[in-house]
Amino acid sequence: MITGFLGLLCTLIFLVVGIYTNTIYNCIRRVYINDGSEGDKNENLKEYKQAPGPIPWPFIGNLALLSKFKVPLQGLTQLSEELGDIYSLTLGTRRCLVVSSLNLIREVLNQKGKFFGGRPNFLRYHKLFGGDRNNSLALSDWSSLQQKRRNLARRHCSPRNSSLLFTKMSNVACYEVCVFMNALRERLSPHGECEIKSLIQQTSANMFLQYMCSIRFDYNDNDFKKVVECFDEIFWDINKGYALDFLPWLAPFYKKHLNTIVGWSTAIRKFIIERIISQREHMIDVSEPEQDFADALLKNSIEDKSVSRDTIIYMLEDFIGGHSAIGNLLMAAFAHIVHNQDVAKKIQAEADEISSHGRRIINIYDMEKMPYTMATISEVLRFSSSPIVPHVATEDTVVAGYGITKDTIVIINNYKLNRSAQYWENPDFFQPERFLENTNIEKSEMVAKRRNSEGSDSGIEFDKEDLAVFKKNSTKHRSSTQISNMSSSKRTPRLKKNIPHFLPFGIGKRTCIGQSLVRGFGFVLLANILQRFNVSSCNLSSVETIPACIALPPKTFSLQFRFRNIY
Ligand code: HEM
């Protein structure tokens, strides 16, 4: 009995020592990279130390350092004050690198992007996508399939301003926002209150569904309601950090939660197959022009045998799920507006002018003409500072002269980028004006040229055709107003388009695919709702956003909507 116990103890000690030795080895391991010169490969290897960082504890690594912060990115920002803009951490037993400055973020995501195309192997990610995170666009490692999926999605998710798809996006958004207005009227309490989040999510979901699958669902359809709730739960969950991600041995304690995640994703998949895909896949005719994104995907799976039916279903799920981000973004926008009523007034002034005091619905083509409203969306994105899914080094490499070992998780600290006085004046104030500039036409042309030559560093896709339209409009504007306007002091505000340190959608090869949809649908919702309603709250202290997070809990604050007297 005693020998048995001693044997167990020895095995345990041996295990602990073994694991900890491995953790320490991972911290001190050097990286050897060929310096590029000719000759014997081994002789030309240059040695690189890893970035500095605190010594890890057994099993938990440096997790305790973050445990005192409610928001991990705030903790990482505070650590960067001591350790610098590039430092190493060990979270659990996983080696991590935290980068917090614009130049370093650019180096990781842009210049060295090909070495950082992986995503972390978190258990939660697998559970969300049928047991394999590579089924997901955002959570998969980089691969030729991923490239193919991105290419397939590009035309539909980033339609050109001059395209028919852009018109479809606009029409769909306008139609759905009208349905929303009616539904909202029915749901308002006598005091004008409404638990608005679920309705906004349903509206946003229907915009996506109509645009991508040419189908919409009634707001009273219980299956639809349930599925929209599941998407929102997942969005909330994925935006939270869990100790489990770095300490997988905690899995038995998270069993219930992991089963809940599987339940949400199974319900979504069932809905997509039964209510969207099944009728369509039998009717698909590859010789006919594609009707929408779902058509494009289904046709592709027939024509390209390397793209399976499952891939198509997961892709649809991923993209339709994008609606949750927009619903949450809008809720965050309302939260700020409720506390800053002057922002609401300025949006309303733009909205009244564009819509002739509500005589028409504001559409996506009005975005250019409502710079303050667009600036508000940018400010919500800056303020919320949505975390970037971590990247993973796929081979040994070097950043800023430090060696990065294969499988290191790279945490992009965009919170510091968005909320530091180094980059922004009064960073903790909500000020959409920071995204506006008073510009004359010469300057706008210069910006357009610069952006075209620099590429889409801010992740904003800007192709040649858009540039041509943009330039044509600028020239048209100049000939009609003549240069006299330039000499007069009247200048119109314009949205600043190339702020190098503003990267809400990431940069590089894994940049967000949904940014045009975010701007377009987000704009139509925000502009039209504020054109019709004054938004406030009976309980101002309940209306809060969460730092370094675009998501709000599925059950969150209610808001008060009062019709505006606009005529
Ligand atoms: C508030 C709205 C949104 C924000 C702030 C946002 C931001 C981001 C960021 C920062 C990334 C990561 C870039 C990187 O890893 O380097 C990303 C990736 C991605 N986003 Fe978004 N996003 C939003 C909405 C959407 C929507 C509506 C869709 C879908 C229609 C979408 C689809 C994707 C996909 C598929 C990826 C992964 C791309 C890849 O890994 O190759 N996003 N997004």
Kindly report, residue by residue over 297-348, the tens digit of the pLDDT: 999 888 888 888 888 999 999 999 999 999 999 999 999 999 999 999 999 9
Q: Pick the closest to residue 168 from 186, 185, 152, 155 (CA basis).
A: 155
Condensed to tens digits (0 to 9), the pLDDT of residues 337-390 reads: 999 999 999 999 999 999 999 999 999 999 999 999 999 999 999 999 999 999
Distance from C-alpha of 348 to C-alpha of 529, rounded to nearest angstrom: 9
How far is CA 378 from each of CA 39, 59, 181, 197, 455, rounded to the nearest angstrom? 51, 40, 24, 20, 20
Q: Say whether pLDDT at 36 is over 80.
A: no
Any ligand 1 atom below 6 A from CB of 513: yes
Q: Is the CB of 389 under 6 A from ligand 1?
A: yes
Q: Which helix (H) or strand (E) holds 32?
A: strand 31-34
- Which atom number of ligand 1 is nearest to the Cα of residue 142? 41
Q: Which residue has the higher pLDDT, 520 or 441?
A: 520
Question: Is 493 exposed, middle or buried, given 0-12, 13-18 or 19+ CB atoms closer than 10 A?
Answer: middle
Q: Is 512 annotated as a binding residue?
A: yes
Q: Is the dihedral of CA 505, 506, 507, 508 positive or negative?
A: negative
Separation between Cα atoms, residue 471 and residue 170, nearest integer Å:
22
User: If pLDDT is split at 50, 70 and 90, which confidence band does 85 have?
Assistant: very high
Tokens of 208: 């996506």
Q: Over the range 245-284, which residues count as b (16 or more CB within 10 Å of their CB) and which as e?
A: bbbeeeeeebeeebeebeebbebbbebbeebbbeebbeeb
Say what the pTM is.
0.89
Cα dihedral angle (446, 450, 453, 455), rounded to 10 degrees? -130
Tokens of 501: 């340190």
Instruction: Give the whole-angstrom CA distance, residue 148 versus residue 151.
Output: 5
Give the mean pLDDT of 94-118.
97
The answer, yes or no, to whether residue 487 has pLDDT greater than 70, is no
Lowest mean pLDDT among 36-40, 87-91, 112-116, 118-122: 36-40
Tell whether the model's pLDDT for residue 236 goes beyond 60. yes
Whether residue 479 has pLDDT greater than 50 = no
Asked whether 552 lines ligand 1 (CB < 6 A), one says no
What is the model's pLDDT at position 442? 54
* Strand extents, DSSP E, 295-451: 391-392, 397-399, 402-404, 409-412, 436-439
Is the minimum distance from the CB of 550 to ligand 1 under 6 angstroms?
yes
Confidence of residue 451 (pLDDT cuts 50, 70, 90): very low
Does residue 33 have a pLDDT over 50? yes
* CA separation for the pair 421, 484 (Å, rounded): 39
> Residue 485 pLDDT > 60, yes or no?
no
Calculate how far, in angstroms, residue 325's C-alpha sits from the geometric centre of ligand 1. Answer: 9
Spatial contact of 366 and 527, defined as CB atoms under 8 Å apart: yes
Find out whether 80 and 42 touch, Cβ atoms under 8 Å. Answer: no
Q: Burial level of 192, CB count in 10 A (0-12/13-18/19+)?
A: middle
Distance between Cα 185 and ligand 1 center (Å): 32
* Amino acid, single-letter form, for residue 331: M
How many A from CA of 208 to the centre of ligand 1?
Answer: 15
Which residue reads 């349930």 in tokens?
226
Tokens of 566: 């606009």
The tokens describing 276, both together, are 């969207």
Whether the per-residue pLDDT at 449 is higher than 50: the answer is no
Residues 6+ positions from 491 with CB-CB distance below 8 Å: 438, 439, 440
Residue-wise pLDDT tens digits, 383-416: 999 999 999 999 999 999 999 999 999 999 999 9
* Mean pLDDT value across residues 59-75: 91
Ligand 1 neighbour 138 (Cβ under 6 A): yes
The CATH code of the domain at 134-438+491-563 is 1.10.630.10
Q: What is the pLDDT of residue 16?
A: 81
| Percentage of the chain modeled with pLDDT above 90 | 75
Question: Is the minimum distance from the CB of 321 to ligand 1 under 6 angstroms?
Answer: no
Closest ligand 1 atom to Cα of 150: 41
pLDDT value, residue 171: 97
The residues, ordered by sequence, that sit 6+ positions from 408 with a Cβ below 8 Å of its Cβ are 95, 96, 97, 392, 393
Instruction: Give residue 8's pLDDT band: very low, low, confident or very high (50, 70, 90).
Output: confident
What separation in Å is there between the alpha carbon of 514 and the centre of ligand 1? 6
Report the first-to-last Cα separation within the chain, whole angstroms: 89
In the chain, % of residues over pLDDT 70:
89
Element (H, E) at 270: helix 255-271
User: Is residue 458 within 8 Å of 500, Cβ to Cβ?
Assistant: yes
Whether the per-residue pLDDT at 465 is higher than 60: the answer is no
ipTM for the assembly = 0.99
Atom nearest to 412 CA in ligand 1: 16
Residue 478 has pLDDT above 60, yes or no: no
Quick check: CB of 506 below 6 Å from ligand 1? Answer: yes
Name the token pair of 94: 């996983």
d(CA 113, CA 508) in angstroms, rounded, equals 6
106, 73, 155: which is closest to 503 by C-alpha?
Answer: 106
Residue at token pair 């569904």: 209
Tell me what pLDDT residue 43 has. 72
Q: How far apart are CA 521 and CA 422, in angstroms?
A: 32
**Average pLDDT value over all residues in the chain:** 89
- Nearest alpha-carbon partner for 342 in 308, 376, 309, 313: 376
Structure token pair of residue 564: 């505006």
Mean pLDDT across the stretch 218-233? Answer: 98
